Amino acid sequence: MAAFGERLRALMAERGISQRELARRVPCNSGYLSRLASGKRVASESLVRKLDDLLDADGDLVALARTADHTGVRLGSVTARGVSVETSAPPHAGDDDDVKRRAALQLLAALGVSTATLGAEPLRHLADLALTAEPRDLDDWHLACVDHLHALRTRAATQARKDLVIDLLALDRQLDAAPAGDVTELQRVKGALAMLHAHLLSRLGDHGAAIRWWRTARAASDSSGDLDLRLMVRCEEAGVGLYGQRDVGTVLTLTHSAERIAGDGASFWKADLAGTRAKAFTLLGQHDQAVQALNSYVGYGEPDAPTSILPTLWTDDQAHFAQSWVHAGAGDEAAADRARDLVLARSGDRQYAANVRLHEALCTVVQGGIDRGVRQAAIILDTIPAAFRTQMITEVGRTVLNAVPYEQRHRPAVREFRHVLTTTAPKPALPPAT
């Protein structure tokens, strides 16, 4: 890659663009560009084309990179079946980069990100972003956790997940080389990010991958020894399980397992688990037990103290959301309305807003207004932008449908709602072709 590096340096000089400024425009790490310019790194095809465009090289860089590939290491080619790499010469300085890129692509595949979901070039770009990321200090990683939680709540799940996997890959690389004193804290970060990844996969309807990532989140949090994080992960896993990911009995088992970890004393996490049980009992039609569990949840109040990682995870609209769910399922319109209004006044999560409106439709159906309730639910689902439709919203819509007595499901309005429910459901990413 010596000729490529020489031409890259010459073009930067001719165009009057500093290495730092070019790195900002790509974007990539300035140190990575330095290694490209010195011939110590091999750029991906997508990065070469980007540099060629930014420097108005008229294809010079592309041609030089192709020549270098044929005389040195050939870049990894990614197919729908996975990752394959060919070499056409003995290893040289760029071989280490190629190995790292292969490892990055393989880890992305393990994260569930493949050419089947993104295409080859975007996938390579994700790998390059992660490979060129500088190691971060622990405060930056804590900030990243909060940023990804905000993205989960406010952005399309597909985009939020794409951004998250870059950090998961970068974190994995940093953990491999981390000093012993940083490993425990980085494991805490991994537990938090893996939990958010599982949640995003759940929103996208990819339940198999989500369950595997819940397992990863549990393992990372357990290895950190942080009791709050261990319980946070388990509370989230149980709560998300109610949205079609697991049967209700399994969710109840998860809550009991988490309670054993929490111990005998009262705690916010045990109250949170009671809130999940309240929703589960509502799905089972056990409304008295649901209200009893709900009162335990709401009566406890706020967390005992903000958690040191993901301190913004809990918001007070979560209790109001549980109230909306339980009271709507029981047909208590007045109580459900009060809770819904509180959620809509405070929540910045699109999913919460859509679901409490679906709770209103559920309450209408439970009270006997079948046609009105399912039409209301159909309108709610139809008006959600496609990028923001999630499995959680679909499952609450399914709860509305399930509330219709079996003998009434032939009604035209119900049939139409069933069609809307199907057409607005998120489509999980197809697995790689085999």
The reply to whether 147 falls in a domain is no
Contact 220, 229 (CB under 8 A): no
Q: d(Cα 415, Cα 376) in Å, to the nearest integer?
A: 14
* Domain of 68, in residue numbers: 1-75
Structural domain includes residue 206: no
Report yes or no on 245 lying in a domain. Answer: no
pLDDT of residue 101: 54
Phi and psi, residue 302, nearest 5°? -80, 165
Q: Is 400 among the domain residues? A: yes
**51 in a structural domain:** yes
Predicted confidence at residue 36, as pLDDT, reads 82
Residue at which a domain ends, from 40, 75, 110: 75
User: In this predicted structure, what is the pLDDT of residue 134?
Assistant: 67
196 part of a folded domain: no
Do the beta carbons of residue 114 and residue 123 sit within 8 Å? Answer: yes
| Residue where one domain finishes, among candidates 31, 60, 75 | 75
Q: Rounded to whole angstroms, how far apart are CA atoms 226 and 332?
A: 40
Q: What's the confidence (pLDDT) of residue 429?
A: 45
- Measured between alpha carbons, how far is 251 from 264 in angstroms, rounded to an integer? 20
Distance (Å, rounded) from C-alpha 419 to C-alpha 381? 11
**Tokens matching residue 384:** 């959600």
**Total structural domains within the chain:** 2
Cβ–Cβ under 8 Å, residues 64 and 4? yes
One-letter identity of residue 323: Q
Tell me if 361 sits within 8 A of 373, measured CB to CB.
yes
Listing DSSP states for 339-354 in one string gives HHHHHHHH---HHHHH
Which domain-ending residue is among 75, 107, 124? 75
Q: How far apart are CA 385 and CA 419, in angstroms?
A: 17
User: Has residue 340 been placed in a domain?
Assistant: yes
413 vs 139, 312, 376, 406, 409, CA distance in Å? Answer: 53, 41, 10, 14, 9
Q: Give the count of beta carbons closer than 10 Å to the beta carbon of residue 283.
A: 17
105 within some domain? no
Tell me which DSSP letter residue 315 carries: -
For residue 34, the domain's CATH number is 1.10.260.40
- What pLDDT was estimated at residue 43? 76
pLDDT attached to residue 275? 97
Distances (CA, A) of 67 to 47, 62, 81, 271: 16, 9, 27, 64
CA 49 to chain centre: 30
Distances 302 to 74, 257, 313 between C-alpha atoms, Å: 56, 22, 12
SS3 of 169-213: HHHHHHHHHCCHHHHHHHHHHHHHHHHHHHHHHHHCCCHHHHHHH
Amino acid identity for residue 167 in this structure: D
pLDDT of residue 133: 59
Per-10-residue mean pLDDT, the chain, length 434: 80 86 78 78 78 87 70 34 32 48 54 50 57 77 96 94 89 86 93 97 94 95 94 98 97 97 90 97 98 94 81 90 98 97 87 96 98 98 95 97 96 98 79 34
